[in-house]
Structure 1
Amino acid sequence: MDASKGKYRTFLVSLFLLGVTFYLASCESEWRSLWPSVVALIVVLLSRSALCGLLLGASCGAVLLAEGSLTGAVEQLLWQQFWPIFGSSWKLSAMLFTLILGGFVALVEAGGGLQGLVRRLLGSHVVDRGGAAGSAARKRMQMTVFGFGLLVFFDGLANVMLIGRLLRSAADRCGVSREKLAYLADTTGSAVACLAFISTWIAFQLSMIREGFALVGQEDVSAYGYFFRSLPTNYYCWFALILALVCVWKEFNPGPMGTAERAARRVLPVAQDQEPEVHASHWGLAIIPIAVLTLSIPVLTYLIGSESLWPFNLSKFAEAYGKAEAYVPQILVGASMLASLVAVLAYTWARGAHGYGGRVDSAPTTFLRGVREISLPVLILVAAWMLGAAISQLGTATWLCECLQGRLPVYLLPAGTFVLGAAISFSTGTSWGTMGVLMPLAISVIFSLTDGMMDVERDRLVVAGIGAVFSGAVFGDHCSPFSDTTIVASIASGVEPLEHVWTQLPFAVIAGSVALFAGFVPLGLGLPALLGWGLGAAVLGCLPRFWRSSQSG
C-alpha cells in the first residue's frame, strides 16, 4: 500500500513539474536552463529511480527547447536528444564496451579463477566480522579495490566497470558494503584518469588547454607542459584519493556510508558448502584475462598512434596517445572483445580441467547471461545522455560561466573557477563537458583580468586555473546523479544509483571543501602549490579523530 501511495505521489509531482515546465517555456528567464536538472533530481529523490528522473528531466528540457509546443517537444526528444546518441562513435562504443564487459566478467566469475584470486588475496571466509580478523580482512579487501583502481589508470569508465563487477562478491564475503565498493571504484576511476599523463582523457585535456590559449592569441604553447605543471594544483583529485585511503585505514565512514557498512557486517556470509555454483580454479585464470584487458588498451593505442614502434620511450608513448585520440572508442571495444576471447578460452579450460561437463552453461550462454544482466542498466546511460543533450542545447554551462565572469577579485579566481566547475559538473553530470566549456573561458578570463601583471604571476594563475577546472570537473563526475561514471559505478557494484550518490556525496563534499579552503584559496593568495597539498593532506589525515571526538562529545 505504501509503495502504491509513493508511486501515486511521484506521478502527481511529475505532472506538476511538467505543468511548471510548460509555463517556463513561455518565460525569458535565463535561469530556466537549470530546470531540467532540478526536475530530474526531484523525481530521482521521490521515485528512487534514476531512469524515471533522467527521462522526465530530458522531457522537460525538450519542452523548453520547443518553447512549449507538444509536437515540437516530441520531435526534439526523439531527433535531437535520442537519435544523435547512435550517431556518436564514443557513446555507441561506451554502450558496446559496457555490454561486452558484462559478458567478460560473467565468464571470469563462472570460470572459478576469480574465486581463486580472491581467496589468495583475502584468505578464507570471514565469519567474525566484528573482531580483529574481520577488520583486517575488510581493510585488505578495500586496499585490493584501491590497488586495482590505480592499476586501471587509463580510463575511468573501464576502471569502475571492471572493479565493480569483479570484486562485488568478494566485498560481500568480507563484510564490505557494495556502497563502499562503488565509492572506492568511482573515486579511483575518474581521479586517476584525470591525473594520468597517459589515459583516454589526456588528448581531450590537452586540446582544451590549447583552445584556451588560442582564444588569447597564443597558439605556440606546450599544452603538455601546462598539464604537468597543473598536477600539484589539481587538489580535488589528490584529496579524493587521500580521503579514500584515510577512510580505509581508519574506518572513517561518515553519513549514510556508516549505516551501509554496519549493515554489511551484520549480514553473515554464505557458508562455504552452501555457495551456489562456485568452482574455485587457479587464480591465473582470472589474472590472464584481466591483464589482457588492462594492457591491450595502451598497447593498441601505441600501435595505432605511433609512426614507428621502436625505439620506445614515454614521450613517444604520450604522443601516440594524442594521435590515436579519434580511435579510443574502437580501441576500448576491441580490447574488451580480445579479453572476452581469452576469458572464453580460460573458461573452457576450467570446465575441462575440473570436469564440470554439462552441469554448467556453455561459454556463449554464460557470456550472453552477463550481457543480459547489464543491458537494462545501459538504458540509464541513454537517459543520462538525453538529459545532457537538452542541458547542452539550453546553454546551462555557459550561463553559469557568465554569472561568474568579472565578479571575482583576481586572488579568488582559482577558488571561483573550482566552485563554478563543481556546479557545472554536478548539474550537467559531465566532466568532459565541463572542461570543454570552462577551460577556454577560464584561461581567457585570467588573461583579461591580469593584464598589466608580470608574466610570471599571470602564468602562475593560469596554471592554478587549469588545475581548478580539472578538479571541478571531476567533483561532479563523482557525485552527480546524472554522471555516466557514477551510474556505471553503481550498476557494476550492484547498488542503486541514488544510494551510491547519497553514500559518496559526504566524501566528495569533504574532499571538495578541503580542496577549496586548503588548496585554491591559499594558491590564489600566492602561496606555493605544494604547501596547500601538504596542508590538505594533514587535515584529511586528522579528520577521523576530530570527527569521532565531536560525535562522542
Structure 2
Amino acid sequence: MPTKTTHRVWGAIVTTVVALGASMYVANHDSEWRTLWPSLAALAVVFASGSALVGLLVGAMCGAILLAEGSFTGTVEQLVIKQFWPIFGSSWKLSAMLFTLVLGGFVALVEAGGGLQGLVRRLLGTGHAAHRRMQTTVLGFGLLVFFDGLANTMLIGRLLRSAADRCGVSREKLAYLADTTGSAVACLAFISTWIAFQLSMIREGFELAGQNEVSAYSYFFRSSPTNYYCWFALVLALVCVWREFNPGPMGGVERAARRSQKSVEVAASDVSASHWGLAIIPIAVLTLSIPVLTYVLGSDSLFPFSLSKFALAYSVAEIYVPQILVVSSLLASLGAALAYRMGMRPSAAGRVVPSSSAVFIAGVREIAVPVMILIAAWMLGAAISQLGTADWLCVSLQGRLPVYLLPAGTFVLGAAISFSTGTSWGTMGVLMPLAIPVIYSLTSGEVDMERDRLIVASIGAVFSGAVFGDHCSPFSDTTIVASIASGVEPLDHVWTQLPFALIAAFVAVFVGFVPLGFGLPAVLCLIAGGLVLWALPSVWKTVG
C-alpha cells in the first residue's frame, strides 16, 4: 500500500515537472502573470511535496527559466551566477547564516550544561498550568529580545523547544509565538536593527514628494499607533496563550502535544540538571552584547548616556549589525562552553562526557542542513526581485481606491507583496517611496492636517503589510528560521500560523485602517481592535 511518503515523492516529481515545463511555455509567451509564476510554482510544489526546500528550489529554477527566456545555458548562468553566488557576496546573508549556525552550537552547549533544565524547573514548576506558564515565558523572552527579529526567533525557538516538549506545548505553537514576537516587536521598537532602514524609507518617500525638511523619527513615532497588524498580532498571541484560543490546525497539534506531554519535573537524580544560573549567564551575554556593541560602535562617546543617543547610535551602526550578531553569538558560545564545563558534576564520572567543542559542533551540524532552506529562499527572492513582482503589483492596483481607503489599500497591497516575495524590507523599499508621494498627489486640495493624518496612517500601513508576509509567507527567511529553530517543518509552521495572521490582518483592515481612513482617532481604533480580539474566543470556540 502506498505510504504518505510515497505520495509526497510522486507529488514532488509531478509538480516539479509540470512547473518547469509550464515555465518554458510562459517564458516564450507574454503574460501579465509571469512575474507571479515563480511564487505560484513554489507554493504548488511545497504543498504537493511537503518540502520547503524542494519547493523553493523549484521556484528559483522557474524564475531563472523566465529570466533566461527559456535558454538552457542562460538558465544555468542565471541560477548560479545571479541567484546563488550573490548570496555569498552579501555581508548580511553571510552573517545570518553564520549567526544561525553558531547559535545552534550555543544552544547545544546551554542544553548539555544542564542550566537550561534548572531554569525551566525554576520558571515553570509543575502542574496543570505548566503549558500556560511555558507560553507566557516565550512571550516574555520575545519582548525582551526586541532589538532583532532574526535573533529573537532563532534564540527563543532553539533555546526553549525541549522545555516546550516537557510542558505539553507543541513545537508549532512555539514557532508561532517566536515568529510573532520577532518581526512585530522589532518593527515597533524605536531601537532595533530595523530602525535605520525604516527611517531611511520614510525619508526617501518624503524626498520623492518634494519634502526634504521633515523628521523621519517624528513620523515613525506618530505612525506607531497605526501599525495595526503588528499590535494586533501581539495581542492575538496573548489571547492565544491566556484564553486557550487555537484556531485551525493549531488546535490539533496542541491536543497531540498535551497527550504526549513529558513531566516538567526534573528528577533529583538527573545529572543533566544544574543551577539555573549556568543558563542565565550565557543567555544574558547574547542578549545584552548586541545592544551594547551597537551602542559602542555607533556612538561618538559612551557618556553621558541617553535614550535618544542610544537610538542615534543604532542608526549610525546599521552597517555593523551583521558582524555584531556574529560576534555576540561567538561571545555567548564561549560563555556557554565555560558554563558547560562547570555543569559537569563529579557524579557523572561513570559516563563519557563529551567535550564542549564536540557538543558545539553537534549543535552546528543539526542546523547545517536546514540553512540550505534559507539559501533556497534567497535564490527565489533574487528571481522575484529581478522579475519585478512587487512593482507589477503596485502598478496593477495604483489609482483604484478613493483617498479614505488608501491606508487599508496600502496594507492589503503590502501584505500581497510581502507574502508573494517573502521580504518585509523589500516591501517597505517598494511601497514607502510610492505611498507618501501618492498621498501628496491625491490630497493637493486638502488642508495640511488631513494630508498629514493620511500620511501617518499610510506609513503604519506599509510597516503592517510588510510584517504580514514576514509572518506567514513560506518564502520568508524569518518564517523559515522560526520553524528551523523550533524543530518544525516550515510548511507545518505556515499552516498552523496562517489562521492567526489572517485574523490579525482582518481586524487590522476593518477595525483599524478603514475607520482610520474615515477619520477615527488611531488610538481608538487600536483599543477597539484589541477588545475585538480579546472577545473573539467567546464567540469562536476552539479546542487545544
TM-score normalised by structure 1 residue count: 0.96
Q: Which residue of 2 aligns with 1:129?
A: none
Q: Which residue of 2 aligns with 1:344?
A: 337
Q: Which residue of 1 aligns with 2:143?
A: 150
Question: Using a 3 Å threshold, how does the CA distance of structure 1 residues 123 and 81 change in structure 2: closer, same or farther?
Answer: same
| CA deviation string 1:36-92 (max 9, x = no partner) | 000000000000000000000000000000011111001000000000000000000
| CA deviation string 1:195-254 (max 9, x = no partner) | 000000000000101110111121221110000000000000000000000111110001
Q: Which residue of 1 aligns with 2:317?
A: 324
Unaligned runs of 5+ in 1: 125-132
Give the CA deviation at 1:276.
12
Q: Which residue of 2 aligns with 1:39?
A: 41
The answer to whether the aligner puts 1:512 opposite 2:514 as a matched pair is no
Contact 2:125 2:264 in 1 (8 A): no
Q: Which residue of 2 aligns with 1:75?
A: 77
Query: Which of 373, 377, 381 is the aligned partner of 1:380?
Result: 373
The answer to whether the aligner puts 1:8 opposite 2:1 as a matched pair is no
2 CA distance for matches of 1:431 and 1:523? 23
Question: Using a 3 Å threshold, how does the CA distance of structure 1 residues 325 and 61 change in structure 2: closer, same or farther?
Answer: same
Unaligned runs of 5+ in 2: none
Helix, strand or coil for the counterpart of 1:219?
A: coil
Question: Using a 3 Å threshold, how does the CA distance of structure 1 residues 518 and 351 change in structure 2: closer, same or farther?
Answer: same
Q: Which residue of 2 aligns with 1:65?
A: 67
The answer to whether the aligner puts 1:219 opposite 2:212 as a matched pair is yes
Q: Which residue of 2 aligns with 1:99?
A: 101
Contact 2:204 2:433 in 1 (8 A): yes
Q: Which residue of 2 aligns with 1:190?
A: 183
Give the CA deviation at 1:31.
1.9
Give the CA deviation at 1:372.
0.2
Moved more, 439-448 or 378-387: 439-448
Helix, strand or coil for the counterpart of 1:385?
A: helix
Give the CA deviation at 1:360.
1.5
Q: Which residue of 1 aligns with 2:255?
A: 262
Cα RMSD (Å): 1.6
User: Amino acid of the residue matched to residue 430 of structure 1?
Assistant: T
| CA deviation string 1:248-278 (max 9, x = no partner) | 1110001100000001011141697899986
Contact 1:405 1:445 in 2 (8 A): no
Give the CA deviation at 1:358.
6.2
Contact 1:425 1:476 in 2 (8 A): yes
Query: Which of 457, 464, 473 is the aligned partner of 1:480?
Result: 473
2 CA distance for matches of 1:112 and 1:548? 39
2 CA distance for matches of 1:362 and 1:354? 16
1 CA distance for matches of 2:422 and 2:482? 14
Question: Using a 3 Å threshold, how does the CA distance of structure 1 residues 5 and 537 change in structure 2: closer, same or farther?
Answer: closer
Give the CA deviation at 1:357.
7.7
Give the CA deviation at 1:4.
2.6
| CA deviation string 1:446-474 (max 9, x = no partner) | 11111121111111100000000000000
2 CA distance for matches of 1:476 and 1:548? 27
Query: Which of 364, 375, 394 is the aligned partner of 1:371?
Result: 364
Q: Which residue of 2 aligns with 1:461?
A: 454
Give the CA deviation at 1:16.
1.3
2 CA distance for matches of 1:104 and 1:304? 24
User: Amino acid of the residue matched to residue 331 of structure 1?
Assistant: I
Contact 1:115 1:278 in 2 (8 A): no
2 CA distance for matches of 1:273 and 1:192? 33
Moved more, 22-31 or 516-525: 22-31
| CA deviation string 1:99-151 (max 9, x = no partner) | 00000000000000000000001114xxxxxxxx42x1111110000000000
Contact 1:414 1:461 in 2 (8 A): yes
1 CA distance for matches of 2:269 and 2:109? 16
Q: Which residue of 2 aligns with 1:297?
A: 290
Q: Which residue of 1 aligns with 2:244?
A: 251
User: Amino acid of the residue matched to residue 61 of structure 1?
Assistant: G
2 CA distance for matches of 1:197 and 1:357? 52
Contact 1:293 1:339 in 2 (8 A): yes
1 CA distance for matches of 2:219 and 2:35? 33
| CA deviation string 1:410-461 (max 9, x = no partner) | 0000000000000000000011110111111111111111112111111110
Contact 1:110 1:278 in 2 (8 A): no
Helix, strand or coil for the counterpart of 1:548?
A: coil
User: Amino acid of the residue matched to residue 184 of structure 1?
Assistant: L
Contact 1:410 1:449 in 2 (8 A): yes
* Number of aligned residue pairs: 541
User: Amino acid of the residue matched to residue 159 of structure 1?
Assistant: N
Q: Which residue of 2 aligns with 1:206?
A: 199
Question: Using a 3 Å threshold, how does the CA distance of structure 1 residues 171 and 282 change in structure 2: closer, same or farther?
Answer: same
User: Amino acid of the residue matched to residue 496 of structure 1?
Assistant: E
Moved more, 374-383 or 26-35: 26-35
